[in-house]
Amino acid sequence: MKQCFVCVLFIVYLAACGTEDKKISDKIMPVDKMKVIVWELMQAGSYATIKKEKDTSSATQLNTAYMAQVLQMHKINKDDFFKSFDYYQTHPALNKILFDSINAYSQRRRADLYRKVE
């Protein structure tokens, strides 16, 4: 009886230590699409902050307007974006993959800009 209990406990332990399933639901945007949108939203936020320094209008209003434009360009609505973003935030392994992808994407964009300048 004791051996059976130990075997069951060991099997449960192995099942708990398994790798996290990286399959994402069809309702959640894939990493490749999310990285571009999040990167563009970060760019829009930075632009709104810079423009606010030159203009007296609210940075929050500018940021919201630019966010709406980015989402409209990608033909998605705010609810779908935040549903996907919240999903990534609650799954740390996938969130790390997303933000590593954003970092790599920004590095490639920077390298492309430097090549154009030269």
Cβ distance 70 to 40 under 8 Å?
yes
Does 83 map to a domain? yes
37 with 45: CB under 8 angstroms?
A: no
In a domain, 40, yes or no: yes
DSSP-assigned letter for residue 26 = T
User: Domain tally for the chain?
Assistant: 1
Per the structure, the complete domain to which residue 86 belongs is given by 26-117
pTM summary value: 0.72
Domain assignment present for 91: yes
Does 37 fall in a domain?
yes
H-run or E-run covering 19: none
CA distance 43 to 117: 20
- The yes-or-no verdict on residue 13 having pLDDT over 90 is no
Better-scored residue on pLDDT, 63 or 81: 81
Report yes or no on 20 lying in a domain: no
The arithmetic mean of pLDDT across residues 81-97, rounded, is 95
**Does the pLDDT at position 82 exceed 70?**
yes
Is residue 67 within 8 Å of 4, Cβ to Cβ?
A: no
